[in-house]
Structure 1
Amino acid sequence: MDEDTTLLALSAIAHRSRLAIFRLLVAVGPRGLPAKEISAQLGIVPSSLSFHLKDMSRANLVSRSREGTFIYYSAALDAIHGAIDFLTENCLAGAAGNPSSR
């Protein structure tokens, strides 16, 4: 994952509602949930939820799949793993053995 993609993912998840959405989607697994269910479980009004899901989709943190008339959203774990790997390789490399980096 490159720096721009990592920054996009981190900035997209750095919001209380988007982090809650991501946590919920990780917890429910790969099938995901329709937007109506996410809204009901988290108490986020549909218009705000739509905004957050769009931002998260743009950052590849969620994926969408259609089942009938419903769009199911699920957590895209590859994106968050890529951001973590980027941080580990580019920001934390050598931190454990270098007291000045703490």
Structure 2
Amino acid sequence: MQKENALEALAALGQETRLDVFRLLVEAGPEGLTAGAVSEGLGVRANTLSTHLGVLTRSGLIRAERDGRSIIYRADLTTMQELVAYLLQDCCGGRPDQCGPLLNLFACGSKAG
């Protein structure tokens, strides 16, 4: 991942509603959700949500796919993995043993915060 892409993804997630949208789509899994379901799930007006979905899509954190008359939104976990890898690229100054607790958090699927 390039620095510019990382900055765009972090900026997209640096807004409360967009972070909530991303987390909701992660929770929804591969089936994803329609914009209406996201709107209802988060209590966000459709026109406001549209803007947030656009920012997240442009950042690569979510994907939109037409399904008949609906658009299904899904979290793009590959992009999130690339972002986390970019952030942790030089973890612990070349001493990966010190990164164990962080890596275990991801391996175990634990929920933080």
Q: TM-score, normalised by structure 2?
A: 0.80
- In structure 1, the gaps of 5 or more residues are 98-102
Q: CA separation in 2, counterparts of 1:87 and 1:43?
A: 32
Q: Shift in Å at residue 93 of structure 1?
A: 4.2
Higher relative contact order (CA 8 A, sep 6+): 1
Q: CA separation in 1, counterparts of 2:81 and 2:17?
A: 20
Tell me, yes or no, if structure 1 residue 25 matches structure 2 residue 13.
no
| Count of aligned pairs between the two proteins | 96
1:10 alignment counterpart: 10
Q: CA separation in 2, counterparts of 1:58 and 1:93?
A: 31
Q: CA separation in 1, counterparts of 2:14 and 2:30?
A: 22
- In structure 2, the gaps of 5 or more residues are 99-113
Q: Which amino acid aligns with 2:10?
A: L
Question: Which digits, 9 at most, give the CA deviation of each residue in 1:3-62, with x for residues without a partner?
Answer: 011111111111110111011100010120000010001001001100000000000011
- Go from structure 1 to structure 2 and tell me whether the alpha carbon gap of 1:95 and 1:46 turns closer, same or farther (over 3 Å shift): farther
Question: Which digits, 9 at most, give the CA deviation of each residue in 1:75-102, with x for residues without a partner?
Answer: 0011111111001015x341866xxxxx
Q: CA separation in 1, counterparts of 2:28 and 2:92?
A: 33
Q: Shift in Å at residue 67 of structure 1?
A: 1.1
Q: CA separation in 2, counterparts of 1:93 and 1:51?
A: 38
- The Cα RMSD (Å) is 1.5
1:73 alignment counterpart: 73
Q: CA separation in 1, counterparts of 2:40 and 2:66?
A: 19
Q: Which amino acid aligns with 1:36?
A: G
1:94 alignment counterpart: 93
Q: CA separation in 1, counterparts of 2:42 and 2:65?
A: 20
Give me the identity figure in percent.
Answer: 35
Structure number with higher helix proportion? 2
Q: Which amino acid aligns with 2:83?
A: A
